Amino acid sequence: MQTAVSELPAVRQTVKELSQISTLRVVYHLAEVWGVIGLAAWLSGWVLPPSTGIWGACVYIGAVVVIAARQHALMVLVHEAIHKRISRTGWVNDTLARVAAAFPVFISLSKWRFIHLYHHQYTHTKDDPDRAIYARYPLGSGPFWRLLARDVCGLNVVSTLKYFIDLPCVTWAFNRKFLGEERAGRYRQIADMGLFSIFWAVVFSAGFTLWGWEFGRYLVLYWLVPYCTVTQVFFRIRGAIEHGHVPDPENAYQQTRTYFMPGVLRFFFAPKQVNYHLEHHLYPSVPFYNLPRLHAVLSRVVYPAESGYCERFSTGLKKLVHG
């Protein structure tokens, strides 16, 4: 029997080498994300505040977009922790991810891991819990732009929160509908919402004790406003383009796309190499910083034979939106 191209010894060896984890590299990327967030908040909050007039307002809008882009990057780094790509030591992987990435952007690592691993196991089937994110595409331009308008206005953020965390009194019904009765029951046994609540209790207590109401103002202007608006746009577009309107949902090489764009756009729409989504689904053991190298190898050895689905970001976006 002929050996599958993806199982050639050279490919297996490359994947093994690229699956090595460097926790220090992830710490560097976390520091970069938080450094940019701090710089944006400082420039807008102290150097040229919104109260200074039109230029202050422009700087504030720019700060919101940049902070939203880095909140999006934190989401991607949480995704790395789901696959235990931050550290091979379980408690280090999960603790670092929760404190430095997941909890700040209102994500329960346990809940997203529970959902996401099912997504990998049942991609593009009725058992894929993420079908609701991408199955609606392609959409007409009118409905698509209305979705983005609702995102910018903060009208869709509650749906995102229900997906990522457990909101009192409302999420249990959502979990049962989204995951199914049996899965929802098993998920409740592993939820980390107690840790989530402790984290935010500490943040609020320390923040208001040290900085008073000024902390609350900064939290709203430079964290909640970006998260509730622009971050939702980035998250929606990425969720759509990863699996929406693909050529062959039953083919592992065509049920998701790798997409390419200029570096400036990657900062907002595809941080931390998340655009190499086909490579990630094929080999989730490879951490994000090695995905470009994996793509280079697969493009030479595997994709020509298997018709790996890779295209420009603009091309993929046009396939999601018609009319």
Contact between 65 and 268 (Cβ < 8 Å) = yes
Q: For tokens 């990657």, name the residue.
A: 266
| 126 class by beta-carbon count within 10 Å (0-12 exposed, 13-18 middle, 19+ buried) | exposed
pLDDT confidence of residue 168? 77
What are the domain boundaries of the chain?
A: 5-322
pLDDT confidence of residue 176? 77
Does position 99 have pLDDT exceeding 80, yes or no?
A: yes
Does position 127 have pLDDT exceeding 60, yes or no?
A: yes
Does position 178 have pLDDT exceeding 80, yes or no?
A: no
Contact between 45 and 29 (Cβ < 8 Å) = no
CB atoms inside a 10 Å sphere around CB 190: 11
pLDDT confidence of residue 3? 40
- 50: tokens are 């919104």
Q: In this predicted model, what pLDDT tens digit does every residue of 230-283 receive, in sequence order?
A: 999 999 999 999 999 999 999 999 999 999 999 999 999 999 999 999 999 999
Question: Cα separation of 44 and 180, whole Å?
Answer: 45
Q: For tokens 């701090």, name the residue.
A: 38
- The pLDDT confidence band at residue 1, using thresholds 50, 70 and 90, is very low
**pTM recorded for the entire structure:** 0.94
Mean pLDDT of the chain: 93
CA torsion angle 87 97 275 309 (round to 10): 60
- The pLDDT confidence band at residue 6, using thresholds 50, 70 and 90, is low
Percent of the chain with pLDDT over 90: 84
Question: Cα separation of 315 and 174, whole Å?
Answer: 34
Segment 180-191 mean pLDDT:
76
Segment 76-96 mean pLDDT:
97
Does position 68 have pLDDT exceeding 90, yes or no?
A: yes
pLDDT confidence of residue 7? 64
Q: In this predicted model, what pLDDT tens digit does every residue of 269-289 receive, in sequence order?
A: 999 999 999 999 999 999 999
pLDDT confidence of residue 5? 57
Q: In this predicted model, what pLDDT tens digit does every residue of 16-38 receive, in sequence order?
A: 999 999 999 999 999 999 999 99
Contact between 258 and 310 (Cβ < 8 Å) = yes
